[in-house]
Amino acid sequence: MTLVFKIVIVYALILGLLLLNQNRLIFRPSRDFPLKPSQFALQPEEVHFKSADGTDLHGWFFSSGENAPYLLFCHGNAGNISDRLPNIKLLLEIPINAFIFDYRGYGLSQGKPTEKGVYEDTEAAYEFLHKKKRAKPEYITIFGRSLGGAIAIELALRKPVGSMILESTFYSLKDLVGRIFPYMLFYPFIPSRFNNGEKIKNIHVPVLFIHGDADTTVPWTQGKKLFEAANHPKEFWLVKGAHHTDAYEINPTEYLSRLRDFILTTR
């Protein structure tokens, strides 16, 4: 067996393992709840609902009154809804009605996460707001952070919404991981999943982009590239000193002010 043939075999085996374990590499769910609403003096409604395929899902609905706008929070690929409670606590000061839920396999939601599955789960969360809470589509803002931004973009293609906020979101998964060694060696074979850059060209609602200039997980240039592909009206806010998930902690006053202005003026 020649050296070249051995290299080809090893390459093929590694590629196969990467492709077979895509979901494990992308989704990092947790069942544990390190934080609880009571720790933040919050008393949400416990929501149990079903995805289109019958998967049992769980979320929290935080009410600020019927006249407040609605925010559907799509979290990132790791942890679960409990990790986002400090962010929710701040956002409720806008004030808004906030619904944060767990995709399948996260927290108390059943099943295992897949790209198709999390899209269906988010549609079900939207339907909860629209039908159960009677939220008008033009009063619903989708918020997506990191991978949640990709999920929010897909929802905006499927359902009418008033506006969208994308924080720390990448142009496409292939574009992102293709720049990281050793994934760059397999770039031609990386599936075109979560292709946000192409999808956003077909979305015509106001979009606020937020990205930290110290984000090493998803470099801010990825967010800027996605912003440039989007239609108007749109706004890009580069948060000085912020990393991947802490923009609301780095500058909470401006964070709250910008999101309040965006949500209330686009409803």
Please give the positions annotated as active site: 146, 215, 244
Sequence-separated (6 or more) residues with CB below 8 Å from residue 237: 208, 209, 210, 211, 258
Q: Is 245 exposed, middle or buried (0-12, 13-18, 19+ CB in 10 A)?
A: buried
φ/ψ (deg, to 5) at 239: -90, 115
Longest dimension (CA), the chain: 72
Amino acid at 66: E
Q: What is the CA radius of gyration of the chain?
A: 19
Q: Which residues lie across from 71 on neighbouring strands? A: 98, 141
Q: Count other Cβ atoms within 10 Å, centred on residue 39.
A: 12
Pairing state of beta strands 97-102 and 56-62? antiparallel
DSSP-H helix ranges across 140-219 = 147-158, 173-177, 196-199
Q: Distance of alpha carbon 74 from its chain centroid, rounded?
A: 4
**Which two three-digit tokens encode residue 29?**
């769910």
Sequence-distant (6+) residues with CB within 8 A of 249 are: 86
Among 73, 85, 76, 80, smallest CA distance to 32 is for 80
- Bond preceding residue 233 cis, omega within 30 of 0: yes
